[in-house]
Amino acid sequence: MQVIDKISIYYATDRKNLERLSDIPFDFVYNEDMNESKRIGNAVSAVGICLNFLLAAAKIIFGALFGFVSIIADGVNNLSDMGSGIVSIVSFRIAAKPADKEHPYGHQRAEYIASMLIGFLVLLIAFELVRESIEKIIAWQIGDVSLWAFVLLAVSVGVKAIMFIIYRVAAKKTQSDVLSASAVDSLSDCIATTAVIVGMLISRYAGVPFDGIAGLIVVAFILFEGIGIIKKASSRLLGQAPDPELVSKVKEILLGGEGVLGVHDLKLFGYGSQKFFATAHIEMDAKLPSDITHARIDFLERKVLSETQVELTAHFDPVDPSDEEAKELEERIRAAVEGMYEGMDIHDFRLIRGEKKKIVFEVGVPFALKAKDEEVESAILSAVRLLGEAEAVVTVERE
């Protein structure tokens, strides 16, 4: 683990002496989460590969010997899971690579690509099993149901249940999409294998060749699982919105900073399950010396990194709390536009004095708002003009 020691920041004033600003504690501990995730991911994936290989081999051989397409389908599904485990190990190795010239934000998005490959592999297997199951239904033959088949499938359900728990715990610890997909896969396997058992029971005691139908039930679970994995991975690869709890945590840290008067334009960008970057505008007293402001913002950037693993770049917005005219004007404008749009927020308010006064501010509206940005801007400008105070410059942003 890397530890950043305490440092003291000094600044020079127009006085002759140097005065100590503060002993800001920079002794934050940065956990090497990527290395830990790699170790956990590799270990869990290796166990999964071994178990899935044993299950796949047993089911495929047994299903071929006794003519049960549903057992073969279940075994092929385990075989695809083994392939997924191999892809997972490769993706963990790639994701753990440090940033380089070609990839300055790291390689963690390789995990999303790996998840999509797993999803496509699952779909490919499913389409092949659909064909085999339909052929089995058309043939309408009852296979020779053996007691050992029930034992094999019951053991498979137990093993997959244990694997589900292992994957789920590991996924929560590492925030890994690949391990999360494997956990869902294991749970689906439990349900699918149970369907095979039910089909065999019906075939044995009702004399109905339910094997092909059970095979289609298994395929339905496989298709659902594959589509879900692809959808989730592609959404994150395209830039899915960050976790609201993470956004709230970062904002809470910033608002708790010394001298912080407000925070806006906080934006988070994900480059993997554990790689986040952020930008934010932090409002502070404009009359403070620039080095004090810089020291406080630098401290907040490090604090955010320490507590959330988010690499923040903060922008300083100067605010004059003593400007009564600007404060009164801001209050009047807020009252004029209040309730105009649900979830609307006004920030970065500035009063620029010159030959003609200008009011400059930004308006944040939800992405879900149906009104266009131009419509929002026009409506707000119309409301501000009625006040007759000054020329308004409005920037509309989606949040």
List, in order, residues 6 or more apart from 135 with CB less than 8 Å away. Answer: 69, 212
On whether the CB atoms of residues 219 and 208 are closer than 8 A, the answer is: no
Residue bearing tokens 């020329």: 391
Closest C-alpha among 223, 242, 61, 25 to residue 149: 61
Chain segment 29-47, per-residue pLDDT in tens: 444 555 677 688 778 888 8
Closest C-alpha among 257, 258, 254 to residue 267: 254
Q: 354 in helix, strand or coil?
A: coil
User: Distance between CA 335 and CA 333 in Å, rounded?
Assistant: 5
DSSP-derived secondary structure for 319-330: E-TT-HHHHHHH
Domain coordinates in residue numbering, the chain: 31-238, 323-399
DSSP-derived secondary structure for 32-55: -HHHHHHHHHHHHHHHHHHHHHHH
Give the pairing type, strands 345-352 and 358-365: antiparallel
pTM attached to this predicted model:
0.60
Kindly tell me the burial class for residue 103, based on how many C-beta atoms sit within 10 Å of its own C-beta (0-12, 13-18, 19 or more). Answer: middle
The CATH number given to 323-399 is: 3.30.70.1350
For residue 212, which amino acid is it? G
- Displacement of CA 380 from its chain's centroid (Å): 35
User: What's the fold here for domain 31-238?
Assistant: Alpha-lytic protease prodomain-like (1.20.1510)
What strands, in cross-sheet order, belong to the sheet with 345-352?
345-352, 358-365, 391-398
On whether the CB atoms of residues 6 and 25 are closer than 8 A, the answer is: yes
User: Distance between CA 26 and CA 32 in Å, rounded?
Assistant: 17
Quick one: residue 189, left, alpha or beta (phi over 0 = left, psi -120 to 50 = alpha)?
alpha
Run of H or E residues at 392: strand 391-398
The four Cα atoms 173, 174, 180, 181 give a dihedral, to 10 degrees, of -160
Q: Could you read off the pLDDT tens digit of each residue along the chain, which spans 399 residues?
A: 343 333 334 333 333 333 434 444 444 444 455 567 768 877 888 888 899 899 888 888 888 887 777 778 778 778 777 877 777 777 777 777 777 788 777 777 777 787 788 788 778 777 877 877 787 777 776 666 677 778 888 898 999 899 899 988 888 887 777 788 788 778 878 877 887 788 778 877 776 767 677 778 777 877 887 888 788 888 877 777 778 888 889 999 999 988 898 888 888 888 776 678 899 999 899 888 988 888 899 999 999 988 888 889 999 988 888 888 888 888 888 887 777 888 888 877 878 877 777 888 888 888 888 888 888 888 888 888 877 767 888 888 887
Closest C-alpha among 58, 64, 55, 215 to residue 144: 64
Q: 275 in helix, strand or coil?
A: coil
